[in-house]
DNA sequence: GAGACGGTTGGAAGCGCTTCCAAGGCGGTA
DNA sequence: TACCGCCTTGGAAGCGCTTCCAACCGTCTC
């Protein structure tokens, strides 16, 4: 910077002010400094800048999964607005319990960021305390962390949209494939989505048959296994409500292999509207994923700007009817008669 | 740090050395310092540390897409080894031409990182020059940037595995759905995968019919459109080779909607082994994606450690035969007679 | 037993920038 | 015309850490 100042014929103090867009710098002077900087292709050292009292210009993003579409999309939306605001994104993957321990105990992001965004994962009380230690703004997105400003979908409402659709189609024997994250102990299967199942059934006056509820780790093959289990029932369901599209797709595979037709024999509905749901003609409940990331990013910006955010944002979901659901045709017993489970 | 030094009864110089694992610090002293730091839950200020001459402890990762499985998986593998090495990951999404311009012109990562990893995208000559300006180590992964130490799969070999499989099954009229990235002008459809098509055909003595080659932007719906185009041909292909699984899945949808059976009427093969390929029973050529990220991470570590890396690494691919490919049964003409294209 | 040597430690000089404080200039007002 | 006050600028003190250099001390060797 000394070079720039010299070249512009000003002191370092002025150069600094000009470069960081401070008021009280004569326009002509500012221009001269900027020109000099440009000429020398100079950029301020963020370290020095920060050290001398600024902010880091970075925000940490903590995610439980990177390669899953949902999380990656959230991240994509978030990164876009943060990058627009000239903030750098520091990515922290907290996969299993061990990662979690390391992250929250060592707090590697400490002193490195101005804010942290927690994507799609709950934060336990002790972890919250550690986070508080960082003394930065915190925003949550895609999960149900109501202790912080958050943006998320309404799991209960989404679940209801899926379930009510099935019930509307005449199904009464509806299976549910719930997912839990094996890497995150104590992290319950999305509670809202499960509650939706029970409430929808209750509202329709349909008794709950516990055998129709299967909880598996997240993933397609797990969904396939769950479906196989449901098909093994004496009276298999005529419709299946899966907590997510990937799981639903797994169920679809099992059904196909068992020689069952979708939706004639069994209807399947998922949640999320994964891009491949469209390709596989899966009925689902769409949530604006990327947008949730975007909104979270805006919250961070607002917070960093000194703003206050008192409450969270809940984004709307929408039932997308495709080819995997249809009216109940044959009884479960008939299905069982026509093909052996896979 | 002054506090820590005082509490440990040593000078700041010694405290610094102990904290940063320098040699020439008595074990007892080091222990005392560490204990003090622990007690005060102190962490060094990365800014100050860097400013005083260290490194940034950060590496930038540049990706053209975040939410696509391939890139996200690469990123996941990379992040894991970098995090293990206590390096922070700065994520830069360079989506379209504009982002690209901004990134390479402004070089926002300048002075912020010790190394940059370019994931799955080519780097043009002028960009290479800008990158050189950063004066940091550069590694490429998942692409074909041979100007830097790189890790990638062998597109040509993978394409051959897919094509040879089709040819072995007796197909002679094979369509190819190639993908180009609309956001990245001048970025050719994966050249190796395209070349594989031509070479395989040549080796089998099958003449190329240009009408069987369709190039579309990446994505499932684009794949569906491409397939529709192929079905519209007077003599449609009996097998289709898609440059990626997502595209292949799109083709599958079109075929299904057209009432064609897979693989009886048309065989489909993709590349990548996307997790959903297994669920949808798609024959494909698997590449170890996450591992490529891991390897790239190790390269970064080696480079940062002062090592030299003279050449790139090419990971093996493997044909995974599932239910979407089968022997040629009926002639293309017959197919056309049995169902109208979707 | 004395000198040499290597492991330890402290002092102090920056790393490159921001910002407080004060000084200099100018136009405007009484 | 003299004084006041605001805009603009420069000087200089750190921000929190690393590391060179020198001093120190115990041990080993001749």
pLDDT digits (tens, 9 = 90+) for B198-250: 999 999 999 999 999 999 999 999 999 999 999 999 999 999 999 999 999 99
The crossing angle, in degrees rounded to 10, of helices A27-39 and A12-19 is 90
Q: Which of B335, B324, B340, B175 is nearest to B257 (CA)?
A: B340
Give per-residue pLDDT as tens, A238-270: 999 999 999 999 999 999 999 999 999 999 999
Q: In the predicted model, what is the mean pLDDT of chain A?
A: 90
**Which nt is closest to the CA of B17, judged by C1'?**
D18
Rounded distance between C-alpha atoms, residue B207 and residue B127, angstroms: 39
Q: Which pLDDT belongs to residue B124?
A: 86
What are the backbone angles phi and psi of residue B124, rounded to the nearest 5°?
A: -75, 160
Weakly modelled stretches of chain B, pLDDT under 70: 144, 182-189, 330-342
**CA angle (B199, B202, B205) in 5-degree steps:** 155
Q: Which residue has the higher pLDDT, A305 or B149?
A: B149
Residue that is written with structure tokens 């050292």 in the block: A45
On whether any CB of chain B is under 8 Å from the CB of A79, the answer is yes
Residue listed under structure tokens 């907290």: A94
* Contact by Cβ (8 Å): A333, A235: yes
Query: CB A246 to CB B92 under 8 A?
Result: no
> What is the nearest nucleotide to B8, using C1' and CA?
C9
Structure tokens at A222: 């797990």
Rounded to a whole number of angstroms, the distance from the CA of A275 to the nearest CA of chain B is 8
CA of B16 vs C1' of D19, distance in Å?
A: 10
- Contacts of residue A323, Cβ cutoff 8 Å, sequence gap at least 6: A262, A263, A281, A282, A283
Cα–Cα separations (whole angstroms), residue B7 to B32, B40, B297: 9, 9, 38
- How distant is C1' of C24 from CA of B45, in Å? 39
Query: Residue A37, CB half-sphere, CA atoms under 13 Å: how many?
Result: 21
Beta bridge partners of A284: A270, A320
* Interface probe with B: pick from A67, A134, A277, most Cβ of B within 10 Å: A67
Question: What is the model's pLDDT at position A186?
Answer: 56
In this predicted structure, what is the pLDDT of residue B82? 96
Question: Is A280 in contact with B280 (Cβ distance < 8 A)?
Answer: yes
Residue closest to A55 by CA, chosen among A168, A128, A121, A136: A136
CA distance A76 to A39: 34
Q: Are A9 and B73 within 8 A, CB to CB?
A: no
* Residue partners of B87: CB distance under 8 A and separation at least 6: B57, B58, B59, B114, B300, B301, B304
pLDDT at A342 over 50: no
Q: In the structure, how far is the CA atom of residue B50 from the C1' atom of nucleotide C16, in angstroms?
A: 11
Residue-level pLDDT at A184 = 67
* Record: contact B224-A279, CB cut-off 8 A: yes
Report whether B292 contacts B256 (CB < 8 A): no
CA B28 to C1' C1 (Å) is: 31
- If one compares A47 and B178, the residue with the highest pLDDT of the two is B178
Q: Which of residues 265-284 of B touch strand C (CB under 7 A)?
A: none
Q: Cα–Cα distance between A155 and A190 in angstroms, integer?
A: 8
pLDDT tens column, A105-120: 888 888 889 999 999 8
Residue with tokens 């995208």: B121
A76–B66 C-beta distance less than 8 A: yes
Which residue in chain B has the smallest CA separation from A84? B99
Cβ of residue B110 closer than 8 Å to a chain A Cβ: yes
Q: What is the pLDDT of residue B189?
A: 59
pLDDT greater than 80 at residue A40: yes
Report chain C positions within 7 A of protein CB atoms. Answer: 7-20
Backbone angles phi, psi at B178, to 5 degrees: -95, 150
Residue A51's nearest nucleotide, by CA–C1', is D15
CA gap A312, A298 in Å, rounded: 12
A266-291, pLDDT tens digit by residue? 999 999 999 999 999 999 999 999 99
Tell me the C-alpha distance between A57 and A267, whole Å.
49
| CB atoms inside a 10 Å sphere around CB A162 | 29
The reply to whether A292 touches chain B by the CB within 8 Å rule is: no
C-alpha closest to that of A70 among A289, A317, A297: A289
Q: Which residues have a Cβ under 8 Å from the Cβ of A21 and sit 6 or more positions away?
A: none
Q: Span A123-132, mean pLDDT? A: 89
Residues 17-36 of chain B sitting with CB below 7 angstroms of strand D: 17, 19-20, 22
Whether the CB of B11 is less than 7 Å away from nucleic strand C comes out as: yes
Best probe of the B interface among A47, A57, A254, A288, by most B CBs < 10 A, is A47
The runs of H, that is alpha helices, within B204-314 are 220-231, 245-257, 275-279, 289-304
- Residue B283's φ and ψ, nearest 5 degrees, are -70, 135
A90 contacts: CB under 8 Å, gap ≥ 6:
A58, A59, A60, A61, A109, A112, A113, B58, B88, B89, B90, B91
Q: How confident is the model at residue A93 (pLDDT cuts 50, 70, 90)?
A: very high
């Amino acid at each position: 910077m000394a070079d720039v100042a010299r070249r512009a014929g000003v002191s370092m103090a002025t150069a600094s002010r000009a470069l960081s867009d401070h008021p009280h710098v004569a326009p002509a002077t500012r221009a001269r400094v900027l020109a000099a900087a440009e000429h020398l292709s100079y950029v301020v050292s963020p370290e020095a800048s920060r050290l001398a009292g600024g902010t880091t210009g970075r925000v940490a993003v903590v995610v439980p999964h990177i390669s899953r579409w949902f999380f990656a999309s959230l991240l994509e939306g978030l990164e876009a607005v943060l990058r627009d605001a000239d903030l750098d994104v520091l990515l922290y993957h907290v996969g299993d319990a061990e990662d979690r321990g390391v992250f929250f105990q060592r707090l590697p992001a400490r002193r490195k960021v101005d804010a942290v965004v927690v994507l799609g994962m709950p934060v336990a009380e002790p972890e919250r305390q550690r986070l508080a230690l960082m003394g930065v703004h915190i925003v949550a997105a895609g999960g149900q962390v109501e202790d912080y400003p958050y943006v998320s979908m309404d799991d209960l409402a989404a679940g209801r949209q899926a379930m009510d659709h099935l019930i509307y189609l005449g199904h009464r024997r509806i299976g549910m494939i719930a997912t839990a994250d094996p890497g995150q102990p104590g992290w319950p299967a999305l509670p809202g989505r499960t509650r939706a199942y029970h409430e929808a059934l209750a509202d329709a006056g349909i008794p709950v048959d516990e055998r129709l509820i299967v909880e598996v780790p997240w993933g397609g093959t797990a969904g396939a296994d769950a479906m196989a289990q449901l098909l093994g029932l004496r009276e298999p369901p005529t419709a299946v409500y899966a907590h997510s599209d990937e799981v639903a797709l797994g169920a679809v595979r099992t059904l196909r292999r068992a020689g069952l037709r979708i939706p004639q024999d069994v209807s399947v509905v998922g949640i999320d509207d994964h891009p491949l749901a469209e390709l596989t003609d899966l009925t689902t409940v769409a949530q604006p994923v990327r947008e949730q990331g975007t909104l979270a990013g805006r919250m961070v910006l607002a917070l960093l700007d000194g703003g206050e955010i008192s409450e969270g944002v809940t984004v709307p979901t929408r039932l997308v009817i495709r080819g995997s659901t249809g009216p109940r045709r044959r009884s479960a017993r008939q299905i069982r008669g026509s093909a052996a489970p896979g």
